[in-house]
């Protein structure tokens, strides 16, 4: 029997240490989700994005998994590949 991830996450969220670590990683998760949504909206696979970026599918997978924090040039190449542009803004903390 498998337990749905939402249930597991809800149980973990009761732990203060988990919540603190999750909040630290929130920007990376938010960026990864934005990349995935942009690619899906463009109707592209990771392999197709990689080809347009001049890289490999595994690099795109790492970007989308929040496994690495990309530099601005990499984000710009990804954005161009999916027909978008990068916009950076600073917001009140």
> Domain with 69 in it: what CATH number?
1.10.260.40
pLDDT of residue 1: 67
> Which domain range does residue 61 map to?
5-81
CA dist list (Å): 46 to 52, 56, 61, 71: 10, 9, 7, 18
d(CA 8, CA 38): 27
pLDDT tens sequence for the chain (93 residues) = 687 888 888 898 899 998 898 889 889 999 999 999 999 999 999 999 999 999 999 999 999 998 888 999 999 999 999 999 999 999 898
Q: Give domain status of residue 73, yes or no.
A: yes
Residue 47 pLDDT: 98
| Residue 92 in domain | no
| pLDDT at residue 68, as a whole number | 81
Q: What's the total number of domains in the chain?
A: 1
């Amino acid at each position: 029997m498998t337990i749905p991830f939402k249930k597991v996450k809800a149980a973990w969220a009761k732990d203060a240490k988990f919540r603190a670590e999750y909040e630290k990683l929130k920007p990376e998760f938010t960026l990864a989700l934005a990349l995935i949504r942009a690619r899906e909206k463009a109707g592209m696979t990771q392999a197709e994005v990689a080809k347009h970026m001049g890289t490999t599918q595994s690099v795109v997978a790492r970007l989308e998994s929040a496994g690495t924090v990309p530099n601005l040039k990499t984000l710009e190449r990804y954005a161009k590949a999916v027909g978008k542009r990068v916009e950076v803004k600073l917001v009140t903390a």
